[in-house]
């Protein structure tokens, strides 16, 4: 019998700790992300935001605590781990596209290799996804021939092609020239409106206000504060959040 309640969170972190040597980078993190929720994670550099994302994808093993996806603990290895990596999409600051593959190949590679999709199906869906993020006409180019904003939109299409349950965005616009930030955020707002579950590390307050259900503020490896975007940006409670916001706003 399936005893998981219908309201079980999609991602659940309980008592998660992580050290790098003497550095305690994740401290007793308890965090639930519901299906369809858009969670924005904000906090100073070095506070553990990337490590948190990498832990959810098991790119970074944790020292203690548990992380569950859809009610199941994250797998350690093997095929289950490969499936986890397709269930948990990741979009990085630095795009991480394969430089010697075309835009289209970048998007079809995962479905062909991991999902064992048929070539024609993978291609058709990739073109639809490239269309959805507004770069279909770039399909046969190499990543370096695209602008940063276009490359990041390809990276989003590549993540979507795996049919993930959740996508983690780690500062997806911080390496972009300012004029390209909006086009990437617009795609992300669209995904949010379509019901995609998203964890987004970003300081883009406009995005948080438009798309986030909840903001969590991290400092020194701890979740210091959680609130709605409106509450958080207008009336942060902790001194650390106040200090941080006074520097970025
Ligand atoms: P953020 O994304 O919030 O800037 P990170 O999660 O990248 O923070 O890093 C948290 C802390 O862990 C930082 O002090 C960083 O230098 C350290 N750190 C991150 N990755 C490693 C690693 N692989 N080895 C050692 N220290 C690391
Ligand atoms: Mg980071």
Q: Does residue 20 have a pLDDT over 70?
A: yes
Residue 3 CA, ligand 2 centroid: distance in Å = 36
Tens digits of per-residue pLDDT, 77-128?
A: 788 888 888 899 999 999 899 999 999 999 999 999 988 999 999 999 999 9
Helix 178-193 and helix 148-160: axis angle, to 10°? Answer: 20
Cβ 108 under 6 angstroms from ligand 1: no
Rounded distance between C-alpha atoms, residue 196 and residue 39, angstroms = 11
Per-residue model confidence (pLDDT) at position 4: 54
For residues 53 and 133, give the distance between their C-alpha atoms in angstroms, rounded to a whole number.
23
pLDDT tens digits, residue range 209-241?
A: 999 999 999 999 999 999 999 999 999 999 999
Ligand number, closest to the Cα atom of 19 = 1
- State whether the beta carbon of 248 lies less than 6 angstroms from ligand 1: no
Classify the complex by whether its ipTM is higher than 0.95, answering yes or no. Answer: yes
Ordered by start, the domain boundaries in the chain are: 11-246
> Rounded to two decimals, what is the model's pTM?
0.95
Decide: 50 in ligand 1 pocket, CB within 6 A: yes
- The yes-or-no verdict on residue 6 having pLDDT over 80 is no
pLDDT of residue 82: 82
* pLDDT tens column, 177-210: 999 999 999 999 999 999 999 999 999 999 999 9
Whether residue 221 has its Cβ less than 6 Å from ligand 1: no
Those residues whose C-beta lies under 8 Å from the C-beta of residue 11, and which sit 6 or more positions away, are 31, 32, 33, 56, 67, 68, 69, 166, 197, 199
Task: Calculate how far, in angstroms, residue 202's C-alpha sits from the geometric centre of ligand 2.
Answer: 9
Q: Mention every residue, 6+ apart, whose C-beta is less than 8 A from residue 239.
A: none
| 119-132 helix and 103-113 helix, angle to the nearest 10 degrees | 130
Q: Closest Cα to atom 15, ligand 1: which residue?
A: 46
Residue owning the nearest CA to atom 1 of ligand 1: 46
Hey, is 219 helix, strand or coil?
strand
Query: Ligand 1 centroid to 52 CA: how many Å?
Result: 10
pLDDT at 223: 97
Tens digit of each residue's pLDDT (9 = 90 or more) over 126-163: 999 999 999 999 999 999 999 999 999 999 999 999 99
**Both structure tokens of 122:** 């993978």
- 32 Rama class: left (phi>0) / alpha (psi -120 to 50) / beta: beta
Residue 18's DSSP bridge partners are: 26
Helices (H), 114-204: 119-132, 148-160, 178-193
Nearest protein Cα to ligand 1, atom 19: 51
Distance spanning both ends of the chain, measured CA to CA: 50
d(CA 26, CA 54): 12
Could you report the per-residue pLDDT of 21-52, keeping only the tens digit for each? 999 999 999 999 999 999 999 999 999 999 99
Residue-level pLDDT at 5: 58
pLDDT of 83: 83
Q: Which CATH class is domain 11-246?
A: alpha beta
Residue 45 Cβ inside 6 Å of ligand 1? The answer reads: yes
Does position 2 have pLDDT exceeding 60, yes or no? no
What is residue 145's three-state secondary structure? helix
> Cα of 158 to ligand 2 centre, how many Å?
21
**pLDDT on residue 49:** 98
Q: Which two tokens stand for residue 13?
A: 């972190």
In angstroms, the CA 215 to CA 208 distance is: 7
CB of 86 within 6 A of ligand 1: the answer is: no
Residue closest by Cα to atom 17 of ligand 1: 46
SS3 content of the chain, % helix, strand, coil (to 5): 40, 25, 35
Find out whether 44 and 244 touch, Cβ atoms under 8 Å: yes
């Amino acid at each position: 019998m399936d005893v998981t309640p219908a309201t079980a969170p999609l991602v659940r972190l309980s008592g998660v700790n992580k050290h790098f040597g003497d550095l305690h980078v994740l401290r007793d993190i308890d965090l639930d992300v519901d299906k369809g929720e858009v969670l924005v994670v904000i906090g100073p550099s070095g506070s553990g935001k990337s490590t948190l994302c990498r832990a959810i994808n098991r790119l970074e093993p944790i020292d203690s605590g548990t992380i569950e996806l859809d009610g199941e603990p994250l797998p350690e290895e093997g095929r289950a781990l490969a499936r986890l990596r397709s269930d948990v999409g990741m979009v990085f600051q630095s795009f991480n596209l394969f430089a010697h593959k075309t835009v289209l190949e970048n998007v079809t590679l995962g479905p062909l290799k991991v999902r064992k999709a048929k070539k024609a199906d993978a291609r058709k869906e990739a073109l639809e996804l490239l269309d959805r993020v507004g770069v279909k006409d770039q399909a046969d180019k190499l990543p370096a021939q695209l602008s940063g904003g276009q490359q990041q939109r390809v990276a989003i299409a590549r993540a979507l092609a795996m049919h993930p349950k959740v996508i983690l965005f780690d500062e997806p616009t911080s390496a972009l020239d300012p004029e390209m930030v909006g086009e990437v955020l617009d795609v992300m707002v669209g995904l949010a409106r379509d019901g995609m579950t998203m964890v987004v590390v970003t300081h883009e307050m406009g995005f948080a206000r438009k798309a986030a259900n909840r903001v969590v503020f991290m400092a020194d490896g701890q979740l210091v504060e959680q609130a709605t975007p409106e509450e958080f940006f207008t009336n942060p409670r902790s001194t650390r959040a106040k200090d941080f916001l006074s520097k970025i706003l």
